[in-house]
Structure 1
């Protein structure tokens, strides 16, 4: 087992705990939020940041102990490119299926003139 300097140990631990916290908050949001559109927001934002934090921690650890590690960078790039695209497709499917929304979820389709670029 490799002994890391204290600063590296603290930095890596902080980044991994921060990433795990974001992932946990995203998982709780997926469990607790009331409807599909609200539930869609939690894993796409928080969990992406969470996995990103864990990947950064892993990159730091392996870069300090062995040599420069860029394998994790490919995972992060793939994740940050695919998460917004999949969330967009899921949201479009939810709109197409006209899933029921709770009272607190705003449906901006009800007043499209309020959000248009056209001058009145």
Structure 2
């Protein structure tokens, strides 16, 4: 179990599932990061790349379902605009910067096995 604590710390994973909030703040190669995540209702992968002042992140659900309305990430680029898509379809979202963190909020959505929730932050 103690190795799971190190895993959580390295990925900067946070979760408040009842409130629909998930977050990632990778400590190891945040500009090119990929990791698994586990919630009470699902599991999947999180990936993040930063290149040319653009931060891209992706949540992929491999099992179960996850209801979300906010995703927080470390601010790794000059963040002023966000585009969010779910399986290629635009999701209306708001971007808020606070304490070197980017919070992306949207109307509650459910993502299920096979879904890809993607963020492009500029």
Task: Place the TM-score, normalised by the shorter chain, in its bin.
Answer: under 0.3
For the pair shown, the structure with the greater C-alpha radius of gyration is 1
Structure with the larger strand share = 2
The structure richer in helix per residue is 1
TM-score (norm 2): 0.23
